[in-house]
A and B are shown apart, each in its own frame.
Chain A
């Protein structure tokens, strides 16, 4: 479980996170939504320790991150998988080398054992027979799947995804969403996803946090989001006519 307690983060004069608190539970997919510039990426990077909040605490299973020693932080990070917005695969390494890298770094497994594990996770993300390809030879969706494979290869307890669907066609985006959801259920991972994608919100949003101007404006489930009257949320979520109609249909069903 991850507990975020009233975190604040500024860059110069820009106060990006203004006292955000949240709880992320194991086996659940939590989504952080909000407009560009609302502080989503800074929030997720603060959870990862890539940014240090000026105020507030982040606790992993009850242990405060800021009070951990460097070694404790490094050990915690071995339990974290991260899928970056641009995949962040190592350009000069093949798919196999990318996915194998954390195993090589943190385990003493033989090459055969590591290869078995790499092939297993690549199979899990439906990417067989791509071991020797370089990231530049893959499509955006395939790169995302390699990034997911690398993120889960160490059996993480926590999975973070920053805009996993950005730049993907709707079909691939749904595939990625379902894959994340399946992995979260299967391994009871605490999953936190940053997204703009409303399909993802409807499909996999077990818990949704809406950020606006660095403040947590709303929190609920994908069902709650249809019923909410919070203007900031409805302006963001139902900006398209399609989603307005989806909402109307849902509310009519609810009344029946």
Chain B
């Protein structure tokens, strides 16, 4: 199947996903289950990575700013900007694409090869709507919270790194993160996050739903899903940056 066919099939899939759920109470249960699987269980890894990468960004900035003419508060300023604009929304999303994307593909793919999806269809249930819509809603509306936490922990990690290494003073760092605060940059980060979250839920769901074969094919589909989700995120990041910041 060529790329155009895949893209067409992906959008046809979305047409089935975005339908009114057949039973509200079952949809609510699925929503809470997905909130735990895709939301709560992603918080730890996002927090851990954000904290340490924030520290690395501030240390690297400090080590590269050795000109006495450049004020030290720029370390905090650069750390804040890079975390809000790029690191938190894009790189945490790519990490989540790996963790959550492979989970979505393998769980839906296993349901496909073990005929659980056929069982849903035979019962008269729109399986795409039942399985994918809760995932989309949870990722799109919960991941902005994860990214907000990632931004906070990244900046905090930058400060902790400075305090531990002595490369810059706390006051300089705090002055830097307060300098030239632009609210739109946070909105920009959240818009990117929501778009990436949609991709994280739907691209792996597509790979899982249409998998054919057995467990080996499910494994292959998971790998492909992570690769394609990351590729789409990187490509969309470029276009969103052009559209929103230029």
Contacts and interface: CB of A to CB of B under 8 A. Distances in A.
A75 B124 contact: yes
B149 to A, nearest CB: 27
A105 B23 contact: yes
Contacts of A222: none
A105 B26 contact: yes
Interface string B115-147: 110110111110000000000000000000000
Interface string B6-26: 000000000000000011011
Contacts of A90: 116, 119
A78 B114 contact: no
Contacts of B110: 91
A238 to B, nearest CB: 32
A15 interface: no
* Range for the number of chain A residues in contact with chain B: 20 to 34
Interface string A42-58: 00010011100000000
A200 to B, nearest CB: 20
Contacts of A130: none
Contacts of A75: 124
Nearest to B29: A104
Contacts of A160: 122
A106 B115 CA distance: 21
B65 to A, nearest CB: 52
Interface in A175-216: none
Contacts of B25: 104
Contacts of B121: 49-50, 77
Contacts of B114: 86, 88, 91
B130 to A, nearest CB: 9
Interface in A33-80: 45, 48-50, 73-78, 80
Contacts of B125: 105
B123 A48 contact: no
Interface string A76-109: 1110101011101111000000000110111000
A80 B122 contact: yes
Contact of A48 (B23, B26, B116, B122): B122
Contacts of B123: 77-78, 101-102, 105-106
Contacts of B22: 105
The 9 closest A-B pairs by CB, nearest first: A77-B124, A74-B124, A88-B115, A88-B119, A82-B122, A84-B115, A88-B116, A78-B124, A105-B23
Given A77-B123, A84-B118, A86-B114, 16 more contacts: A45-B118, A49-B121, A50-B122, A74-B124, A75-B124, A77-B122, A77-B124, A82-B122, A84-B119, A88-B118, A91-B114, A102-B123, A104-B26, A105-B125, A106-B124, A160-B122
7 contacts: A74-B124, A80-B124, A84-B115, A86-B115, A88-B115, A90-B119, A102-B123
